[in-house]
């Protein structure tokens, strides 16, 4: 009876409902706003079924905006109740009346994937793209869609920023370094060098069907160019491998190649492979495990040649309609040809992102501890350092310049080390543009 009464209540003007209540001792009137508030209260008190009943009644309201809001909230409540099919039905009803509601369409795609309906999820994503998405949302959708073997097979993200850098060579401020032989004076290039830097980032992905297998290939480029060109640092990497769906799990093994140039000269090469496993934990959270192993060759120091291994785990959760968080843990090791150059690393990071109406705000904090495997001859002790990285910034989503979005970022690094070579601080301001194609 409550559902029938609430449906009538939502569909009729307050005067009509009041007339229905005249003479009834247990009958009350309420506006749609009050009913939304009541649904929120019931949900917070743990009565999710009661909240769903009120929201279902509001889906019969005569105003399309209120019907859409009720269906969107109803989908969220049904998902919390474990009724994914009911949540998808509420969103489909919403989209039947308002096909341009891309936020609801993206939620529908996410829920469909959780139900194992990957093909339908891909279809909803493609419709959302056809209608149009903000560039920063488009980038996230493309990353999400790439693991669903999205029909959109190509993607490119570009970023170009520039700004002052307090320490372009990540070096100590100390003029001397103590060794077991005697104190040595460091060359000027081995000490902190402030300057002005320009950074370019490019990320490309391509998905190609080879028989029944979808092959995902990615290429990444990073160029840090400075007013002192001897410190220019350019890195390129590429990986390729099949995307495999194991129920709700996504598994991707791949091969990797790397190249790095410093000051215009080839500094390092690498080759190897990795394997990544992505597992949804709920409709709003997922975990990704990744293991990689790369054989590196360092041209200026052959003692650093060896195998680099990394174990990463990242937990991502949607905290609210506009807020996402990611916690990551990492363990890495370098087994170098010369044992004193071998290093073990442990670290973690926290990333928060908030998509506002006119800008996307983001912030990240990370810590990493490195420990050498054997004492370095000149210093008579092992490498021991702790590094803290902090960064934050904004992407201005309403201020487009030829399709590019302005971005501002500030970052700071503080590395504390027993050996002065790894003891330094660095602060940089970046201002530039970014765009996803």
Q: Residue 64, Cβ neighbours under 10 Å: how many?
A: 11
Q: Are 222 and 199 in contact (CB under 8 A)?
A: yes
- Which of these three, 133, 167, 197, is where a domain ends? 133
Are 116 and 169 within one domain? no
Residue 96 lies in a domain: yes
Q: Point out the domain boundary residue: 104, 133, 162.
A: 133
Residue 145 forms part of a structural domain: no
Task: Indicate if the pLDDT at residue 206 is higher than 70.
Answer: yes
Q: How far apart are CA 378 and CA 335, in angstroms?
A: 20
- The residue assigned the tokens 């290939």 is 217
**Number of neighbouring beta carbons within 10 Å of residue 83:** 16
- Check whether residue 109 and residue 224 sit in a common domain: no
Which residues, in sequence order, are CB contacts of 381 under 8 Å at separation 6+? 375, 418, 419
Q: Which position has the higher pLDDT, 187 or 370?
A: 370
Nearest CA to 58 out of 45, 46, 44, 42 is that of 42
Same domain for 295 and 368?
Answer: yes
Please determine, for residue 273, whether its predicted confidence score (pLDDT) is greater than 90: yes
Query: Pairing state of beta strands 184-185 and 176-177?
Result: antiparallel
Is residue 99 a contact partner of residue 323, using CB atoms and an 8 Å limit?
no
Give the pLDDT of residue 25: 47
Measured CA to CA in angstroms, residue 106 lies from 92, 154, 321, 375, 392 at distances of: 11, 20, 12, 54, 27
Q: Quick one: pLDDT band at residue 317, thresholds 50, 70, 90?
A: confident
Q: Looking at per-residue confidence, does 44 or 167 come out higher? A: 167
Whether 37 maps to a domain, the answer reads yes
pLDDT of 9 = 39
Give the whole-angstrom CA distance, residue 284 versus residue 319: 8
pLDDT at 389: 96
Task: Tell me whether residue 209 is in a domain.
Answer: yes
148 in a domain, yes or no? no
Answer whether residue 247 shows pLDDT above 90.
no
Instruction: Report pLDDT for 31.
Output: 74
CATH number at residue 106: 1.25.40.10
- Are 363 and 292 part of one and the same domain? yes
Q: What local confidence, expressed as pLDDT, does residue 139 receive?
A: 54
Same domain, 275 and 371: yes
Residues 180 and 291 in one domain: yes
Residues 38 and 99 grouped into a single domain: yes
The pLDDT of residue 197 is 93
Question: Do 336 and 419 belong together in one domain?
Answer: yes
Q: What is the pLDDT of residue 203?
A: 92
Strands 154-165 and 424-436: antiparallel
- Name the average pLDDT for the chain: 82
Same domain, 310 and 384: yes
- Tell me the C-alpha distance between 324 and 143, whole Å: 15
Task: Say how many domains are in the chain.
Answer: 2
Q: What domain range is 15 assigned to? A: 2-133
User: What percent of the chain lies above the pLDDT cut of 90?
Assistant: 36
- Same domain assignment for residues 161 and 280: yes
Query: Residue 11: pLDDT band by 50, 70, 90 thresholds?
Result: very low
Asked if 21 contacts 29 with a C-beta cutoff of 8 angstroms, the reply is: yes
**Does the structure show a pLDDT above 60 at 21?**
no
């Amino acid at each position: 009876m409550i559902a029938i009464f609430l449906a009538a209540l939502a569909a009729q003007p307050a005067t009509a409902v009041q007339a229905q209540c005249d003479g009834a001792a247990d009958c009350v009137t309420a506006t749609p706003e009050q009913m939304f508030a009541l649904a929120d209260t019931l949900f917070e008190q743990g009565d999710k079924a009661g909240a769903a009943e009120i929201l279902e009644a509001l889906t019969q309201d005569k105003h399309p905006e209120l019907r859409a809001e009720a269906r969107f909230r109803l989908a969220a409540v049904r998902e919390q109740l474990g009724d994914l099919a009911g949540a998808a039905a509420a969103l489909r009803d919403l989209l039947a009346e308002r096909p341009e509601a891309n936020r609801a369409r993206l939620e529908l795609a996410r829920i469909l994937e959780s139900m194992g309906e990957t093909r339908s999820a891909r279809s909803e994503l493609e419709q959302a793209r056809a209608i149009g998405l903000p560039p920063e949302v488009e980038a996230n959708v493309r990353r999400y869609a790439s693991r669903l073997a999205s029909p959109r097979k190509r993607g490119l993200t570009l970023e170009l920023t520039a700004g002052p850098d307090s320490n372009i060579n990540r070096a100590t401020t100390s003029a001397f370094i103590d060794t077991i032989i005697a104190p040595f004076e460091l060359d000027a290039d081995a000490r902190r060098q402030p300057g002005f830097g320009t950074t370019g980032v490019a990320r490309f992905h391509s998905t190609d069907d080879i028989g029944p297998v979808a092959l995902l290939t990615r290429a990444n480029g990073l160029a840090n160019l400075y007013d002192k060109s001897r410190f220019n640092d350019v890195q390129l990497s590429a990986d390729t491998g099949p995307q495999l769906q194991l129920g709700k799990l996504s598994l991707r093994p791949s091969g990797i190649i790397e190249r790095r140039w410093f000051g215009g000269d080839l500094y390092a090469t690498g080759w190897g492979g990795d394997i990544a496993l992505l597992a949804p934990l709920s409709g709003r959270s997922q975990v990704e495990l990744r293991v990689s192993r790369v054989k590196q060759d360092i041209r200026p120091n052959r003692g650093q040649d060896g195998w680099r291994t990394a174990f990463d785990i990242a937990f991502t959760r949607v905290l609210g309609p506009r807020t996402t968080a990611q916690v990551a843990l990492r363990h890495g090791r370098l087994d170098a040809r010369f044992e004193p150059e071998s290093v073990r690393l442990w670290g973690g990071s926290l990333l928060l992102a908030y998509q506002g109406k006119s800008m996307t705000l983001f912030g990240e904090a990370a810590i990493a501890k490195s420990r050498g495997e054997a004492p370095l001859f000149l210093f008579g002790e092992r490498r021991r350092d702790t590094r803290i990285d902090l960064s934050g910034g904004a992407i201005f989503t309403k201020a487009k310049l030829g399709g590019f979005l302005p971005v501002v970022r500030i970052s700071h690094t503080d590395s504390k080390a027993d050996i002065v070579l790894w003891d330094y601080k660095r602060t940089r301001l970046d201002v530039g543009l970014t765009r996803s194609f």
